[in-house]
C-alpha cells in the first residue's frame, strides 16, 4: 500500500527579498520546512509521498513547493495557490496544470475578507473556469458549507475536496454534532473530504478513541474512495506516525481495500496524479 499524505506545507523562512504579507505572520507554523527535511520525516513516519499545499502565510507563492515537486517527483505534487481576486491573473488559469508538478488549486476561506468572496461576486467567475479546465480544488471552508453545496450542485463536473473535514478547532464530545454539515454534503458525488489533522480535533491522547466513531461515520457516507487521509504535519499535535497509524492500525472496521483508497489511492486518482 502506497501511503500518500493529502496535505503538508513546505515553505521558506521570511527574508527581506522574500517577505510575507503582514497578515500571514500570525498564521505561520514555524520558520521553515523544506523538502529534504520533510522527506526525512516522511521516511520515519512511513509516508511515501505527499500533496504539497503552499501555506497562506507566504501569500500566493508556489515556488518552494513546485521546486520540491520538480526535484522529487515521486514524493511530491502540488495543489497551488491562485489569487482569484486579481482580475489580471485570470489568464494564468488556462495553462495551470501545464506547470510541472501542479495538480490543482487550493483556496482558503477562513478569514473575514476571504469568506466575503463567496458572497460578493469575487469568486463567481472561477468555478466555471475551473470546471471547464478540469482543475480539481481543495477548499478550506469552515462555516461556509451552504455556499459550497450550491457550488457543487451548479458545477457537477468540478471536483472539490473539503480540507480538514471543514472543521477547525477542538470539539471533543461535540465532534459528531459538528460533523453534521460536512456529512450532509456527501450527497454530491463531486465532493470529497480530507480527513486531515484529525488528532487536533480532540484533547485525547493516542489512540484518540473519540475519533474512531467520527472516522467510521465519514467513511460510511463518503466511502473510502472519497475520504483522503492527511496530516497537516506542521501544526499536528501528535507524531506523524501516530496520525498515520490511527487509520492503519486503530480503525479495525476498515478493511485492506478501504485503507488502500483512504491512505493514498483515492487522492491520487481524484487529482489525476500519474
- Indicate the pLDDT class of residue 114, thresholds 50, 70 and 90: confident
**Cβ neighbours of residue 150 under 8 Å, at least 6 residues apart?**
none
pLDDT at 98: 97
pLDDT at 60: 87
pLDDT at 16: 86
* pLDDT > 70 in the chain, percent: 100
The C-alpha cell that represents 119 in the structure block: 458572497
pLDDT at 31: 83
- Indicate the pLDDT class of residue 252, thresholds 50, 70 and 90: very high
User: Could you tell me if 108 and 94 are in contact, meaning their C-beta atoms sit under 8 angstroms apart?
Assistant: no
The pLDDT tens digits for 137-148 are 999 999 889 999
Q: List the one residue out of 83, 27, 76, 90 whose CA is nearest residue 55.
A: 27
What is the pTM (predicted TM-score) of this model? 0.96
CA–CA dist 102, 271 (Å, integer): 10
The pLDDT tens digits for 188-241 are 999 999 999 999 999 999 999 999 999 999 999 999 999 999 999 999 999 999
pLDDT at 21: 82
- Indicate the pLDDT class of residue 11, thresholds 50, 70 and 90: very high
- Indicate the pLDDT class of residue 119, thresholds 50, 70 and 90: confident
3 state SS for the chain: CCCEEEEECCECCCCCCCCCCHHHHHCCCCCCECHHHHHHHHHHHCCCEEEECCCHHHCCCCHHHHHHHHHCCCCEEEEECCCCCCHHHHHHHHHHHHCCCEEEEEEECCCHHHHHCCCCCCCHHHHHHHHHCCCCEEEECCCCHHHHHHHHHHCCCCCEEEHHHHCCCCCHHHHHHHHHHHHHHHHCCCEEEEEECHHHHCCCCCCCHHHHHHHHHHHHHHCHHHEEEECCHHHCCCCHHHHHHHHHCCCCCCCHHHHHHHHHHHHHHHCCCC
pLDDT at 272: 97
Question: What mean pLDDT do residues 24-52 have?
Answer: 92
Say if residue 22's pLDDT is above 80. no
Phi, psi of 181 (to 5 degrees): -60, -35
- Indicate the pLDDT class of residue 133, thresholds 50, 70 and 90: very high
CB-neighbour burial class of residue 30 (10 A; exposed 0-12, middle 13-18, buried 19+): exposed
Amino acid at each position: 500500500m502506497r501511503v500518500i499524505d493529502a496535505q503538508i506545507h513546505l515553505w521558506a523562512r521570511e527574508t527581506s527579498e522574500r517577505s510575507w504579507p503582514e497578515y500571514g505572520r500570525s498564521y505561520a507554523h514555524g520558520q521553515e520546512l523544506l523538502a529534504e527535511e520533510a522527506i526525512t520525516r516522511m521516511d520515519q513516519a512511513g509516508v511515501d509521498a505527499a500533496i504539497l499545499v503552499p501555506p497562506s502565510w507566504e501569500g500566493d507563492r508556489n515556488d518552494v513547493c513546485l521546486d520540491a515537486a520538480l526535484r522529487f517527483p515521486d514524493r511530491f505534487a502540488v495543489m497551488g495557490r491562485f489569487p482569484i481576486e486579481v482580475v489580471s491573473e485570470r489568464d494564468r488559469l488556462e495553462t495551470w496544470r501545464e506547470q510541472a508538478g501542479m495538480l490543482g488549486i487550493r483556496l482558503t476561506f477562513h478569514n473575514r475578507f476571504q469568506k466575503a468572496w463567496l458572497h460578493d461576486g469575487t469568486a463567481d467567475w472561477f468555478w466555471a473556469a475551473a470546471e471547464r479546465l478540469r482543475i480539481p480544488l481543495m477548499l478550506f471552508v469552515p462555516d461556509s458549507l451552504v455556499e459550497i453545496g450550491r457550488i457543487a450542485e451548479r458545477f457537477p463536473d468540478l471536483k472539490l475536496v473539503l480540507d480538514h473535514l471543514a472543521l477547525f478547532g477542538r470539539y471533543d464530545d461535540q465532534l459528531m454534532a459538528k460533523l453534521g454539515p460536512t456529512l450532509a454534503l456527501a450527497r454530491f458525488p463531486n465532493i470529497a473530504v480530507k480527513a486531515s489533522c484529525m488528532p487536533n480535533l480532540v484533547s485525547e491522547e493516542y489512540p484518540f478513541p473519540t475519533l474512531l466513531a467520527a472516522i467510521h461515520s465519514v467513511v460510511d457516507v463518503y466511502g473510502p474512495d472519497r475520504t483522503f487521509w492527511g496530516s497537516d504535519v506542521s501544526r499536528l499535535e501528535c507524531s506523524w506516525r501516530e496520525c498515520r497509524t490511527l487509520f492503519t492500525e486503530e480503525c479495525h472496521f476498515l478493511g485492506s481495500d478501504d485503507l488502500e483508497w483512504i491512505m493514498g489511492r483515492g487522492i491520487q486518482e481524484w487529482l489525476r496524479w500519474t
